[in-house]
Structure 1
Amino acid sequence: MYLRRASVALVSALVGYGAYYSYSGNSTSSLIQRAYSGSTAATGTAAADAAAPTRSVLVIGADELHTGTFVGEGPISKTTGDDGRRVIEMLTPEQATRKLRRSEQSYFVNRGRGVVRYDLVQLPSNDPIEDDHAEKIVEVPGRSPGSESSDWMFWGVFDGHSGWTTSAKLRQALVSFVARELNDTYKAAGELAPSHDAVDLAIKRGFLKLDDEIVNKSVQKVLQANSKVAAAELLAPALSGSCALLSFYDSRSKLLRVACTGDSRAVLGRRSESGKWTATPLSVDQTGSNPDEAARLRKLHPNEPNVVRHGRVLGGLEPTRAFGDASYKWTREISDKLKQHFFARSVSSILQTPPYVTAEPVITTTKIEPEKGDFVVLATDGLWEMLTNEEVIGLVGKWLEHQNRSSGSSSGGGATSQFNSVWRRIFGSRSTTGLPVEAAAPTPGGGAGGGQKTPFRGVRQWGGASDGFVVQDPNAATHLVRNALGGKNQEQVSALLTLPAPFSRRYRDDLTVQVIFFGDGGEPTGDVVVNEDATAPARPAVKAKL
């Protein structure tokens, strides 16, 4: 995508709903043509234009975006030709910031259990947004009488596709399914802690049981009900799909498990001896372009040369693991029966030995070290299309340095003071220029290691550089999204936030980002409290225990 400057001027009076636009720029062809020819240019318009306001506009083409100016009063929203090119008024930097912060949330976790704060934000591109998220804290009684309780803390991001219903189902149910399986596993272990393998198996069972309910049990209910209304409601989460990234932190063991189904990603930031941060991926992107995933599918379906084609399952679906996506899981018999009696999708001619896609996650386990300032970023792939792991971790590190400097000159109280004191102990008075992150280790062939996709959009692709990053948002997740969209380049940020659906989908995906900060310090009150400075207005002042 390219952003270019253009000149868009109103050179005739408004007649009805039409206007005449002229374009001059460095493009090889005019992007803006006559939209309505009901008037001709009148004399004296130059003087009128001099008194009229000048506003920024965005010209949306098939492959390019142009920014320009519009002289005159009235609304600016015009389709300029049969090819769908449009001119719309661009958001001001202030309006862009309000849109960027519309869904942001931030919470102080005053429980003394190793987590001090978490921030999150969403930015839609689809309408409605197909991403979703979940956060929950479960207080777990001690394993023996009189022993201290602990917390299970869950954070999850869900990247929906072909609709929003599957990700919404995950928001409603995934944590509960996993927590139930974990509870059974810990109970069976008695006073002893269950083995690592047993915990991983419990998480996998939770994922698979929920997907079975979405994909298979829904079919049973639909056939029993024999109703198209019931089919529409019950089959929607099966026919759409969603990736899932769920983190599970046990405050007793200080172990963080990340379960990944699909291509959302979790990355750990940790302060090194050099004073910079290291970026450690805690998940692997599971797509047809990942050699390990492609080999797994080819082994499961040995006589099907098209099981992975162009980096996609059967040439269609990019993630190799996902919830829903029943058309890649149902047998031909089930698909034909649903199509005959209801309205399910047609069966692909190359569907031979389903299921091709699984919801079983790959799980990593990491020992959290709060004294090293550990934090974790969980995000749907819309962020990783724009920024590398190192850029994301370096940006949070830069944001933390800014928070540390700001806290040194202010006297905040309560949870804010507690959070700032944690970071002052880690940072001291140090500060760095640029992004304070260690360089990524080289990988064979120069590509991303471990199946990780590399960004194909973002600051570098749009002509920026690391010195174009900016710190101006009190919410760490919002800070990441702003810099993914352009950072200091306010015109680019405004342009990308101005784009309406479905045009926006050409240039950016839905974005959901969570940042979890670990640390010890302060007197625990047991409350989870809204950080009003980094939360969109109109939210409750205090959030009950999750």
Structure 2
Amino acid sequence: MGAFLDKPRTEKHNLHAEGNGVRYGLSSMQGWRVEMEDAHTAVLGLPAPGMADWSFFAVYDGHAGSRVANYCAKHLLEHIMGASLGQAGPDAPASDSAAPAAPTVETVKAGIRTGFLKIDEHMRSFSDLRNGMDRSGSTAVGILLSPEHFFFINCGDSRAVLYRNSHVGFSTLDHKPCNPRERERIQNAGGSVMIQRVNGSLAVSRALGDFDYKCVDGKGPTEQLVSPEPEVFEVVRAPEHDQFVVLACDGIWDVMSNEELCEFVKSRLEVSDDLETVCNEVVDTCLHKGSRDNMSVVLVCLPNGPKVSEEAVRKDAELNKYLESRVEEMLSRAGEDGFPDLVAVMRNLSTDIGMPSLPPGGGLASKRSVIEAVYNRLNPYREEDGSAAELEYHW
């Protein structure tokens, strides 16, 4: 179930790029966990004939270690393309045969499924995973973009969401042991679902790796307690309506709903076109909303995505200025009751009925950094007692 640090590690890993008519940014943070087990993939232009205008993005949420997540981040796409196009996988010999044309929709969907099963089978041969010295596993959520289609891919409880026409247009479905279809497979394999976990232990019912849960005799790979089979959803692109796609691990979804996250991202894209900044705001906000897990988010902006608005920038600046003045006012009144801690300041602000509108979905937690900066600047005790960053993160 994971162990936690005394205080979160908030350093972030970032990337961004653009091509094939999309822009992407990503951010990942270790947070409260003792180890960073998340990984990701971002590829603009697939290295195959006829697929230079395709792209692939994925987030992997590892558990019980990072081995499986990191391997999948580097090699899952190879296995998918090998299955979809008949190309050589990482262990297959090179072929001199003519390169095939771009695959059909059904070929891609079948290739994705086969690619997952193949990489899972391949990892089982690794000595540390086979002998149980490494018991790691990983969820995987991804999107394969062709010029005409989205292929949403999910195995586990990370999630992908399409924001279309200013609404959540599509979301992948989490694979949890308590889902009827998942529970039936688990029970058919001789397992049980207790405290919403496989055999009372694992919180996801589909994953790559996790070979301790894939050793039931007489059952195929998709019939085991934990299945490596992804669900693949094909969605026809609507360029005039499609705005962005968000891929994230459950460290994000634990504290934000699909609608909350999409509305928050939309509001931030109206203030900044720096996708790394927007993704950093997502993970910071989720940390301050109480997420205790690793956090990773990939934001893929489509041509019709939200644009920076002068009015939104002005309102955001006014909100920041208001918050700064309110914190200054509260701290200037500190008297016999003593200097308030940051938690008290946040709670006081949360009851402020005169406050301008906060970012939708993010609320006051999304402005924690603004509030904390003023608090630290004016805190006369920060050298003796430590900075506000050392106080509780979830107020």
Asked whether the two chains share a fold, i.e. TM above 0.5, the reply is yes
* Separation (CA, whole Å) in 2 of partners of 1:320 and 1:234: 20
Matched AA of 1:323: L
CA gap of 1:234–1:475, structure 2 versus 1, over 3 A, is: farther
The one-character-per-residue Cα deviations of 1:79-111 (angstroms, maximum 9, x if unpaired) are: xxxxxxx9x8x8xxxxx9xx64x32424231x3
Which residue identity lines up with residue 393 of structure 1 in the other structure?
A: C
The amino acid that maps onto 1:264 is S
Q: Matches of residues 264-303 of structure 1 in structure 2 within 5 Å? A: 264-270=158-164, 272=165, 277-298=166-187, 300-301=188-189
**Counterpart amino acid of residue 196 in structure 2:** G
CA distance in 2, matches of 1:200, 1:188: 22
1:382 and 2:251 matched = yes
Q: 1:127 to 1:184 in 2, by over 3 A?
A: same
CA distance in 2, matches of 1:171, 1:237: 21
Q: Which has the higher contact order (CA 8 A, sep 6+)?
A: 1
Amino acid at match of 2:193: V
Residue matched to 1:108: 17
Cα 1:257–1:213 shift into 2, 3 Å: same
- How far off is 1:287 after superposition? 0.9
Assess if the C-alpha contact under 8 Å between 1:382 and 1:510 holds in 2: yes
CA distance 1:366–1:243, change in 2 (3 Å): same
Aligned to 2:146: 250
1:134 aligns with 2:41: yes
Quote how far apart the aligned CAs of 1:233 are.
Answer: 7.4
Q: Which amino acid aligns with 1:310?
A: I
Contact 2:12–2:280, Cα closer than 8 Å, also in 1: no
- 1:247–1:313 distance in 2 versus 1, CA, 3 Å: same
Matched with 1:369 is 238
In 1, the alpha carbon distance for the partners of 2:37 and 2:226 equals: 20
TM-score (structure 2 length as normaliser):
0.64
Deviation at 1:309, TM superposition (A): 2.7
Q: Percent identity?
A: 27
2:85–2:103 Cα contact (<8 Å) kept: no
Q: Where in structure 2 are there 5+ consecutive unaligned residues?
A: 88-96, 306-395
Please state how far the C-alpha of 1:234 moved relative to its aligned partner.
6.3
2:139 and 2:207 in contact (8 A); partners too = yes
**Which residue of the partner structure matches residue 376 of structure 2?**
none
Letter in 2 for 1:375: F
Equivalent in the alignment of 1:160:
62
Two-structure CA RMSD over aligned residues (Å): 3.3
* Aligned mates of 1:164, 1:141 — CA distance in 2: 29
Q: Deviations over 1:371-429 (max 9, x none)?
A: 3352111111011111111110000110112137xxxxxxxxxxx8xxxxxxxxxxxxx
Match of 1:513 among 283, 297, 301: 297
Contact 1:237–1:324 (CA under 8 A) maintained in structure 2: no
Point out the more displaced range, 173-182 or 368-377: 368-377
Secondary structure class of the residue paired with 2:144: strand
**Which residue is equivalent to 2:321?**
none
Relative to structure 1, the CA distance from residue 190 to residue 130 in structure 2 (aligned partners, 3 Å threshold; closer, same or farther) is: closer
TM-score, normalized by length of structure 1? 0.48
Is the contact made by 2:129 and 2:211 (CA closer than 8 Å) also made in structure 1?
Answer: no
The 3 A distance-change label for structure 1 pair 355 and 291 is closer
* Pair 1:183 & 2:85 matched: yes
From the superposition, tell whether residues 103 and 236 of structure 1 become closer, same or farther in structure 2 (CA, over 3 Å).
Answer: farther
Q: 1:480 to 1:237 in 2, by over 3 A?
A: farther
Structure 1 residue 160 displacement after superposition: 0.9
Instruction: Tell me the secondary structure at the aligned position of residue 136 of structure 1.
Output: strand
Q: Secondary structure at the match of 2:292?
A: coil
Structure 2 matches for 1:318-329, cutoff 5 A?
318-329=203-214
In structure 1, what is the Cα distance between the partners aligned to 2:105 and 2:185?
Answer: 24
2:24 counterpart residue number: 117
Summarize deviations over 1:475-517 as a string: whole Å, max 9, x none: 2211111222337xxxxxxxx7xxxxxxxxxx61111111111
